[in-house]
Structure formats: structure tokens, C-alpha cells
Structure 1
Amino acid sequence: MVTKLTFKDNSPHFLIKKLLPFALYAIIPLLLFRLYIHPIHSFKEQVPRIKEQVSEQKKIVEIASCDYTNGNWVHDKLGPLYNGTNCNTIKEGQNCISHGRPDMGFLYWRWKPKQCNLPRFQPLQFLNILSNKHLAFVGDSMARNQLESLLCLISSVSTPVLVCRDGDDNKFRKWHFPSHNLNVSVFWSPFLVKGVEKNVNLNHNKLFLDSIDGRWGGELDDMDMVVLSLGHWYLHPAVYYEGNTILGCHYCPGLNHTEIGFYDVFRKAWRTTLDTLLRRRGNGIVGKPIDVIVTTFSPSHFEGEWDKAGACPKKEPFKAGEREVEGMDEEMRRIGVEEVEMVKRKINNNGGSSKLRIEALDITRLSVMRGDGHPGPYMHAFPFANGVGERVQNDCVHWCLPGPIDTWNEIMLEVMKRWEAQTQPRSQVS
């Protein structure tokens, strides 16, 4: 005989009271079967791994979303990973400690982004990411300055071996890290495009804006990652060419050329360089992928006349709001960032498939706050050993090593970690 259920009260409370026992009878067998297939102890064993995965995902999201340009300099008791005596790859003019700079306070600051934490540089992590690869720094003396900072940071765990150099001027050098089969090189190319530097017979630079400099362009196919730096040489007098046509000049009295400044030319040089990279390495059918970092304009901090003592006399960073990125510094920064974004749009418009990854290393704001980080008069060893001379040359463009420029490489490592965390692989060699 079938028992028929009838509900005299259709209220929700009545229905729950009547149906709950049936639900429990159905759930209990399912739970027993689930526990038979996956015992409780297996869940306990998975908990640490699940927590680790969640933590790693949080780190990836933080790295991807962090705005490293927005922050402040804060005191750091730990100081740098190296000093001027235990790193032998520092250019003499940037080795402020060995040249007798008496104040050490400039070494004990860290950049603190407002949105996230910026970890200290992890040399082994950097080496692991670039194991069996070739990293090239290409550009002006800022590229060399950043390269030498990186070499010192890495050398705290692995010693670089100089394997190649081009002449006594060190315009091209290559180091090898045997521990990870990593090659790191630097190419002197102050315009990135073809150019003739001013000399005793030529009082202005000559730039050919329609093709990249062949010195580094000839070895482009061998590079796995390239860091580009550009800016200060564009402030010098120059005549600009495109093909056989003279476009104009910057500060060239007596040459009867149209004065066109350098901003548009600076942008054109970036576009020629990045378009060449995209065409040769990003869209090519055959070849390996390449990662590109564009380091934005590094500001100088001359106060008063450049050749007088105390041209950059600050002993600690500017506080928030004391000095902002403006004028030429901002325009040069903006051009570099915009050209990087244009390359990203070209990649997206082409379906998002490219062997080239690119990011702007936007260091202008954090650097503009560090007027204390330059060699100043200590570009020369012990400049006041015999008293204060009538003329004391100062370097308020380049950066002491160690110093604020180490932060550039800390941020660059974070960009590399974000790239590594991306799940979609790029095309490999065809």
C-alpha cells in the first residue's frame, strides 16, 4: 500500500519540518560514500598545499596590480646588498664610497609603493629566471649605470666573468655567470638609432632616425631580454636626418636648418627602435621570444651652476610634494611610456599573439625624489683632500653605486616575476 502525503499547512516552516528528514536520509549515504573514496586525512594533507597555492595567487595578483611609480622613500636599516669595495664592476666615477663620500645616509632608504610591498632584490631568483639566456642593456650611460648596479646585486651570490670587451672605452662588454649560464652585455648606443657623435671635428650630433644602430642591431637575434635606456644625449646640439633628407636640428646656429627641438625626434627614435624589435623579433615566423624593458627618463639634480661645489648637495630624499616630475622630465618620461603602450596596442590589434613582451620601467618619479643619490663632487676621488678648489666638477646625472638606482633593478625583477607567472606561453622556435 502506498502512503500518500498531504499537507494541510503550506507554510514554509511546515514544509521544511516535513521535508528535512528526507533530505538527511539522502545526504548521509552520500557523505559515507565520499569519505570512503577520500578519507579525512587526505583533506588534511591537502590543506597546506591549498594554502600555499592561495598565497602564491595573491602574490601574483599583487605583482600584476601594483603601481610601483606611486610611493615614498622610507628609512631602511638593512642597507644595500653590496658596497663599493666588494663589487669590482662599478665604474670609478660612480663608486662614491671608495672616492671618500663622508655621508652614508643615502644608502639607508627604500622605495615603498603605496599599493604593495617592493621586496629586496633576490639575486638567485633573478638568475633562475634568466638561466641559459642573454640579457643586453642598450643605450646611453644610464643603461651602463643600471647594468653595473645589476652586476653588483647579482655578484653577491654569483661572480661574473668578463668574457669580452671592445677597446679601452668599454662601449661594449659581456659578462658570463657560469653558475646559471647567463650572459649579460652592454652596448653603448646613446641614440638607439644610427648616429654620429660630436667630436673635435664636429660640434653637433648627427642622427639618422629611420634605422636602429647596427652595432646592437646586428646582435639583436641573439638576445633573450633587452633593457633600453635613452634620453640625455638628445639634449645636445644635433642635426636630424630621415633617409637623405634633413628634417631639422636642435640648437644649430649657423647651419641654416630649421630648429625643431628634440621631443618629436626623441619619440621618433623610440618608435623606430620598438617597431624594429616588433618586426624582427615579435612577429617573425622563425626565432625565439624576446622580453623588452624600456627604462624611462632619469632626471638630473643640478642646483645652480653645474661646475661649482655643492651642485647636488642634498643628504636625504625629497619628501612627498617637495619635488614633482614636471617640465622636460615629465615630457621625456611620457613619450617613453606612450610608445610602449603603442606597441602593446599593436600586439593586441594583431590578435594578442606575439613573441615580444614589453613593459615600461617607469622610474622617473622615484628617481626625481633622490637628489642625494648622485656622486656630486665624488665623481673624483677625495676631491677636497687639498681643500676646496675654485672649480669643482659635479656629477648630478649618474647614480652612486650602491644607491637609488638599485631600486630600478628591484622593480625590473618584479616585472620579470609577473611575466613568469603568466600562464599563456608564447610561441617558441618554429
Structure 2
Amino acid sequence: MGTNPLKDTTDHFLIKRLLPCAIFALLPLALLRFFFYPLSFNQSLLKSPQDKPIIIITTNSSSKATHEKFSGIPCDYTSGKWVRDMLGPRYNGTSCTTIKDGQNCMSHGRPDLGYLYWRWKPKGCNLPRFEPSSFLRLVENKHLAFVGDSMARNQLESLLCLLSEASPPHLVYRDGEENKFRRWHISSHNITVSIYWSPFLVKGDGEWAATGLNHNKLYIDLVDDRWAMEIDQMDVIVLSIGHWFLHPALYFEKDLVLGCHSCPTLNHTEIGFYQVFGKSLRTAMKAISDIQDGKRRQIIVTTFSPHHFEGDWDKAGACPKKQPFKDGEKAMEAMDAEMRSVEIEEVEAAKKNGQQVGLQFEALDITKLSLMRPDGHPGPYMHPFPFANGAQNWVQNDCVHWCLPGPIDTWNEILLEVMKRWDAETKRDGL
């Protein structure tokens, strides 16, 4: 049979006219898909000068296709910028029941919600969204302990909220005022998660206001037994201290007065707190290293978290910023930089000793990325609806702790990446 010239001409016309239209119609959809779900870049064939695999973290933001291959050089999460993220947080003020009341900014009526739509973008690499299933797998059958002050508690409660999406934690123990000692169990993976209140990690009264003293008493060579007596039960330990060292204090070492900080009424040498801060952290990590029971423990030190008070704490605008600082807009001030530096140095020293006893140490370096988020604190919304009756002459603000959800969730995203790297190292070394 012969061909139909009219039909061929018509088909050619349709293809010529409709095909470009279809391509132009699909192009915006492809760009949107790439923006929200970036393609992984496989560099598995690249080699370092020593023929060791280069670090590869391939990810897309759906958080269901994240893969990590071990390399000798981890991603540097300390330097980067905050970028807009329309996906928002993984939980909210009502879906998570473990948020401390003072940090539940959404339920307390904070009107601006823009602070929820930012993600940390490190230079040269990507930080995947938190994967509850991956974290649960890595700590399965383990005891994860947070030890320190209220910042440790803030990070713990963020983690519980992130995990609750996959497996809800059940409170099994509570002791002390303000929930200072608590324990949860995640039955799906037989995980124990605990919080130990120890604002100095070492022995100290820490209650100078309640006891009538105008200073704390710290014994920087003696670890705080309240948590140290249970080290043998812990597998992963997150240490977080800092802000309590700013209070006036008298320091003891080997039963002798070492000196004091901010103590004009005492006849002792003023030595400040940086040196004592480092020694206290060293004492805590040594106490962990001294447990010789053959268990491989992982110790993470969360670095100092800056505050963002502007002016008086009892004024409405104590931390008024509504957006993150841009990269380079805010430098670390003297105290923030010094506290972070002390922690980094102590962790690096512990790493050298830890290799001999089978321990893994890491600094969770969140100081700079947290400094760039002045918008993430509860501020006046540490209390419910503080302006419900109009402007107030006296408003208490919290410009130290972090709203949940909020920037502190990023700390746990980085924590997960650290643990994934450790897991890859362990498998590589056959341990």
C-alpha cells in the first residue's frame, strides 16, 4: 500500500510545533525538582594523593536517599551560611510532646515564623536533613547520655523531637527539680536516652543563689559523681557546658584554693574562668577514659553556644532580630571565640589519648553557625502570649536557649553526620 502524503505532512507539523512546547513546559518542572531535590554527584572514582577514598556525602533533601561513603577528610560544617528552606522543620510545637515549655515558641504565640525556614549550608559540602531511621540504627541497643547544663537539655529535647517522627520515646525515669535528671526508652531499637544535670561536669555546689553565697565553689580535679558513677552504663556521651562558668566562683584543686573569678570580696587571686573551664572539661573526659571495661565509647563535646542579648533582658527588644546574619556579617567575639578554642584544644588532646583506650572523641563545633542565628531564641515568648494584654513595662527574655523547632535542630543533623562517619570508620577497620 502507498503512504498518505497528507498524514505524513500532518505528523511532521505536529512534531515540529508540539515538541518544543512540551520541552518548554517540562523545563520549569525540572528546575523545581532540581532545586528542592538536588542530584547526587558521585565522585567514587576520585582518589587522594595517598590513594585513599575522598570523602563523599551524596544526598537529596527528601532525606530518603542519603548515602555516605567513608573518607579520611570529613565535611567541614563549621563554615558556611544560612539559606532559605521552604521545607521547614520536621516537627512543630504540638507534634512533639517533649519540648520544654519555655522553648515552645510556636505554642507561646510567637507571630513571626520565618525563623523556621532556614537551613545551614556548609562551604563545599551539603548537610542532609535529619534521618530518624539512620540515627536509630546507629544507636540501637545503646545508652545515649547528654551531660551538662540547660544547653545539653535543649539539644536533647531537639533530638527527641526529631526521633519521635519515627519512634516515640517513653519517659521511664525522672528525678530532681525542673526535670534535671530524666531517662527515656525507645523500644523499637532498645535505645536508652538520658539527661544528667551537671553544669560544670566537675564537683561543685552550683547553687550559689539558693545557699546565700555570692559565688559557686568548684573542685576542678574531681568529677561530678552524679553522672560519673554511671559512665559504665553509657555508650555515647554528649558533653555541653559553658554559661555557668560566667558566674562568680571560687576554685579548688587538690584541696587548695586555686583562685577565683569575679570575687572582689574574697582575698584570693583573680584568675578568670577560661583556664578552669578547660580543666573541668579535661577532668570529665579523663573520668570517661579511666573506665577500663573494654567498651568502645563515643564522646562528643558540643562547643559553646553564644547568646544574643541586645540591651536589657527585661525589655521587649532584648533579641529583636528576625533573620540570620549573613556570612561575614557577624564575627565571633572574644568570649565566644575563646570558649570554643578551649573546647577544641581539649578535644584534640583527648583524641590522642583516646586512641590508646579505644575511645572516639569529636567536637561538635556549632559556635559560629549558632552565632549567626540571633532570630532563633524564645525572647519574650519564653512565656505564653506575653503581649496578649498590650505592651508590658517588664518582659523577661530568653536570648540564650533556642526555640524548638529551630536552629538547634541543626546541631543534631551534624551529630548524625559525625556518627555516620564513625560507623563507616568502624566498618572499614573491621572493629
Residue by residue over 1:247-305, the C-alpha shift from the partner in whole angstroms, topping out at 9 and shown as x without a partner, is 1111112121211110111111111111222222xxx2x33110000000000000011
What is the match of residue 274 of structure 2? 263
What is the match of residue 313 of structure 2? 306
Which secondary structure state, in structure 2, belongs to the residue aligned with residue 372 of structure 1? Answer: helix
Q: Give the superposition deviation at 1:167.
A: 3.4
Asked if 1 retains the 8 angstrom alpha-carbon contact of 2:380 and 2:397, the reply is: yes
What is the match of residue 372 of structure 1? 375
Counterpart CA distance in 1 for 2:127 and 2:264 is 48
Counterpart CA distance in 2 for 1:70 and 1:174 is 34
Which secondary structure state, in structure 1, belongs to the residue aligned with residue 178 of structure 2? Answer: coil
Residue type of the alignment partner of 2:277: F
1:150-169 aligned within 5 A? 150-169=159-178
Counterpart CA distance in 2 for 1:243 and 1:380 is 43
What is the match of residue 195 of structure 1? 204
| 1:319 paired to 2:330 | no
| 1:232 paired to 2:243 | yes
What is the match of residue 302 of structure 2? 295
| 1:417 paired to 2:405 | no
Residue by residue over 1:168-201, the C-alpha shift from the partner in whole angstroms, topping out at 9 and shown as x without a partner, is 4211000000010000000000000001021242
TM-score, structure 1 as length reference: 0.83
Asked if 1 retains the 8 angstrom alpha-carbon contact of 2:43 and 2:56, the reply is: no
Asked if 2 retains the 8 angstrom alpha-carbon contact of 1:195 and 1:205, the reply is: yes
Q: Give the superposition deviation at 1:52.
A: 11
**Gap change, CA 1:327 and 1:113, over 3 Å in 2:** same
Asked if 2 retains the 8 angstrom alpha-carbon contact of 1:150 and 1:406, the reply is: yes
Q: Give the superposition deviation at 1:63.
A: 8.7
Residue type of the alignment partner of 2:56: K
Residue type of the alignment partner of 1:305: D
- % of aligned pairs identical? 64
1:206-225 aligned within 5 A? 206-225=217-236
Which secondary structure state, in structure 1, belongs to the residue aligned with residue 375 of structure 2? Answer: coil
What is the match of residue 58 of structure 1? 56
Q: Give the superposition deviation at 1:203.
A: 2.1
Asked if 1 retains the 8 angstrom alpha-carbon contact of 2:91 and 2:405, the reply is: yes
Aligned residues: 368
Q: CA RMSD in A?
A: 1.7
Q: Give the superposition deviation at 1:157.
A: 1.1
Asked if 2 retains the 8 angstrom alpha-carbon contact of 1:139 and 1:187, the reply is: yes
Asked if 1 retains the 8 angstrom alpha-carbon contact of 2:70 and 2:424, the reply is: no
Unmatched tracts of structure 1, length 5 or more: 1-50
Counterpart CA distance in 2 for 1:326 and 1:345 is 29
What is the match of residue 345 of structure 2? 338
Residue type of the alignment partner of 2:96: C
Q: Give the superposition deviation at 1:353.
A: 4.0
Bigger radius of gyration among the two: 1
TM-score, structure 2 as length reference: 0.83
- Of 236, 244, 248 in structure 1, the residue corresponding to residue 259 of structure 2 is 248
Unmatched tracts of structure 2, length 5 or more: 1-41, 47-52, 58-68
| 1:69 paired to 2:74 | no
Asked if 2 retains the 8 angstrom alpha-carbon contact of 1:336 and 1:360, the reply is: yes
Q: Give the superposition deviation at 1:326.
A: 2.4
Asked if 2 retains the 8 angstrom alpha-carbon contact of 1:191 and 1:230, the reply is: yes
| 1:405 paired to 2:408 | yes
Q: Give the superposition deviation at 1:320.
A: 1.2
Residue type of the alignment partner of 2:343: G
Residue type of the alignment partner of 1:234: F
Residue type of the alignment partner of 2:256: T
Residue type of the alignment partner of 2:351: K
Q: Give the superposition deviation at 1:92.
A: 0.2
